[in-house]
Structure 1
Amino acid sequence: MPPSTRIPPLLQPYVHLPRNDSLLLLTSTLGATANWLLIRVLCDALNNPEDGGDGHNVVLVSWMREYEFWRQEARKGAALDLERLKKEGRFAFVDGLSELCLDASTNAPATTSKSAPQITATSTVGGSPTQKAPQILPVRGPPGRIVPARGLPQGAAPASPALTSTSVQTSSTTRSSLGHHTMKSLDIAHLQTTITTAISSLTFSKSTQRKTLLILDNPDLLLALNPTISPSAMTSLILTLHTLPSVSHILTHMQSDNPFLSPSTRPQPLETSHHNLLVKLAHMSSRVLGVRVLDTGVARDVSGVVRVTEQRVGWMDLGLHEEGKNGDRAEEGKGREFLYQVKGDGSVRVFERGAGGEG
């Protein structure tokens, strides 16, 4: 199935990027994830030609999910091969989770075989312990069992530290050149540099005017990880990135659960920061999409509700737009709601209220 057919017809006009450069906001709540909607936006940007061009490049920055998750979701939900798109210079991923939140040691591949665990023996020489070379425990099993030898061949010298360091550095460089970048600091300047590097690594076609869509997945996590980052600093970073010549649109995904929209009686600093950032981005964005669960509870054939609101005035314009042939500008600001159902095979069905969930 072609990627373009994975986008429900009712949702197509709203996942398609606006003609003018703009900021977009996507919100979600607990129990109603927006991953499927982000994948559809990414699919439309990479595949739909615009004004005689050949679509957009996409940089996906995620602080909540690793690349492997997005690769599988893109393949399953939109038939997109992100590995191929990375090699073509159309897609880049910035990992804001692994180095900042996860233990790096858990991501490192194991170098010791489970069947041959290593132990380190120590002996005392002259009253001080002396560490000996690791010993390999014998493999336990029935008599006569032949086990292939493990380890370096006889006479082979282990790789020198310099060679190992060079190999790791070369591997890291190759990975970055293939469109994978990793954040290693919570400093706002480092965030900007890493994202800018990812944007500049993509192929920019002057002949087709192909520009870049920047997707920021859960940057609100930074407010919890680094309390020194203020909502104003985050919005300034987003506006700075939007002024880059090759960036046309920025889509930001944030959480909008009730505790963030209506802080407690004695609001905590994190609640206040999240609320302020969400409100600022909502005012700055020309289109706001939100997914939430049903107000009436869980339904077998409905996953949730998606609401779309078009803003009349964005931060880069004064609302001076030409009215469409059918007066479509008059529909802006009213908002529309649809029900959606995410199926097990990754497909999504979007339908009007009262149309029924089965079909």
Structure 2
Amino acid sequence: MQFQGQIKTYPLSSATMTQSELESYLELPSQSSLTLITSVLGATSNWLALHLLRRTLKSDETIEPAAVLLVSFLRDEYFWEDAGQRLGLNLPRFKQTKQYGFLDGLSGLFLEEKLSQNTNCDQTLQSPDLQYIAKKIRTAIKTLKEDNEKKLLLILDGIDVLLAAAKDMDPFMLEDMIIDLREEVHATVLTLSADLPLVASLQTPLERNHAAFLMSIAHQASFIMNLRLLDTGIAKDVSGVIRITCKESHGEDRYKLEDKEFLYFIGADNRVKLFERGQQ
């Protein structure tokens, strides 16, 4: 399946690997705002989160860099550092300069048998208890704030996995924890799953809880970036569709961004192609 349109191609190692139309949507969100990134199986959000990390951590002539705390329940630190390196983003260096922090919500909770003596317990979550998780995140936030005066962006990657993996997890308690954490940082970004089986049938407690949580977060979010597969199926030259919905101005003193939809392709040659529907 081929699509007509002007395709712009950027090497991941290039400083302009993200199309200019998309870059403006990745700038640091406004104070106290909530950004929601949803994904489905086959159209994951890690590539977009990496571009967001890069845009936030790296400075240019017009944008002041911010600090970032990434809490990931789906991917370990090695994944993020390796993927970031291919993007030209040296996360270990930002970690050394106290501009970046990471909490591993995967290894300690779900891969306990693989933990080694070299595992950093300070940055590894080892219990699904929400009070424990909130305390660990607050400690990490406090540490980053003490080490620099930059605005702090909190990214919670796949925290909805706790609804399935933690015993008796209440979606409203999870939501309350996120609300409390949002008060500690400049802005918050959540990546959540929006697969149809989780949000459509509502037959099981997990499906009902996940749907309620996702809908509530979407209602609160001022900015939503939705990743999905093509409605017509898989295409060899398109990885998926990104739909961007803006409920309010994204960023302080910036013009109001418009709703947008892009097709995107991530190739094996480490190049990203982005183009807008209907572009000639």
Is TM > 0.5 for Structure 1 vs Structure 2? yes
The CA distance in 2 between the partners of 1:298 and 1:217, in whole Å, is: 25
Task: State the Cα RMSD in Å.
Answer: 2.6
Equivalent in 163, 167, 175 of residue 235 of structure 1: 175
Aligned to 1:65: 75
Query: SS in structure 1 opposite 2:136?
Result: helix
The CA distance in 1 between the partners of 2:94 and 2:14, in whole Å, is: 13
Aligned to 1:181: 123
Query: SS in structure 2 opposite 1:5?
Result: coil
Structure 1, residues 59-109: CA drift from partner, whole Å, max 9, x if none?
A: 111111111111111111x211111111100111101111111133x333x
Specify every segment of 5 or more residues in structure 2 that has no aligned partner in the other structure, as ranges.
Answer: 1-11
Check 1:344–1:197 CA distance in 2 against 1; reply closer, same or farther (3 A cut). Answer: same
Equivalent in 82, 96, 112 of residue 103 of structure 1: 112
CA contact (8 A) 2:223 2:248 kept: no
What letter is aligned with 1:226? A
The CA distance in 1 between the partners of 2:178 and 2:14, in whole Å, is: 29
Equivalent in 251, 266, 270 of residue 206 of structure 2: 270
Does 2:138 correspond to 1:196? yes
Does 2:98 correspond to 1:89? yes
Check 1:107–1:71 CA distance in 2 against 1; reply closer, same or farther (3 A cut). Answer: same
Aligned to 1:13: 24
What letter is aligned with 1:261? V
Query: SS in structure 1 opposite 2:270?
Result: coil
CA contact (8 A) 1:3 1:47 kept: no
TM-score by length of structure 2 reads 0.87
CA contact (8 A) 1:3 1:80 kept: no
The CA distance in 2 between the partners of 1:58 and 1:211, in whole Å, is: 8
CA contact (8 A) 1:231 1:277 kept: yes
The CA distance in 2 between the partners of 1:44 and 1:313, in whole Å, is: 18
TM-score by length of structure 1 reads 0.69
Output aligned runs, 1:239-258, within 5 Å.
239-244=179-184, 247-258=185-196
Equivalent in 258, 261, 283 of residue 199 of structure 2: 261
CA contact (8 A) 1:213 1:248 kept: yes
The CA distance in 1 between the partners of 2:166 and 2:249, in whole Å, is: 32
Specify every segment of 5 or more residues in structure 1 that has no aligned partner in the other structure, as ranges.
Answer: 109-167, 315-320
Percent identity between matched residues is: 35
Output aligned runs, 1:1-359, within 5 Å.
4-48=15-59, 54-76=64-86, 78-104=87-113, 106-108=114-116, 175=120, 181-202=123-144, 210-244=150-184, 247-264=185-202, 267-312=203-248, 324=255, 328=256, 331=258, 335-355=259-279
The CA distance in 2 between the partners of 1:182 and 1:71, in whole Å, is: 16
CA contact (8 A) 2:38 2:194 kept: yes
What letter is aligned with 2:265? Q
Check 1:7–1:53 CA distance in 2 against 1; reply closer, same or farther (3 A cut). Answer: closer
CA contact (8 A) 1:4 1:43 kept: no
1:3 CA drift (Å): 6.5
Check 1:243–1:45 CA distance in 2 against 1; reply closer, same or farther (3 A cut). Answer: same
The CA distance in 2 between the partners of 1:311 and 1:340, in whole Å, is: 23
Query: SS in structure 2 opposite 1:75?
Result: helix
Check 1:211–1:322 CA distance in 2 against 1; reply closer, same or farther (3 A cut). Answer: closer
The CA distance in 2 between the partners of 1:323 and 1:61, in whole Å, is: 28
1:229 CA drift (Å): 2.1
What letter is aligned with 1:186? P
Query: SS in structure 2 opposite 1:338?
Result: strand
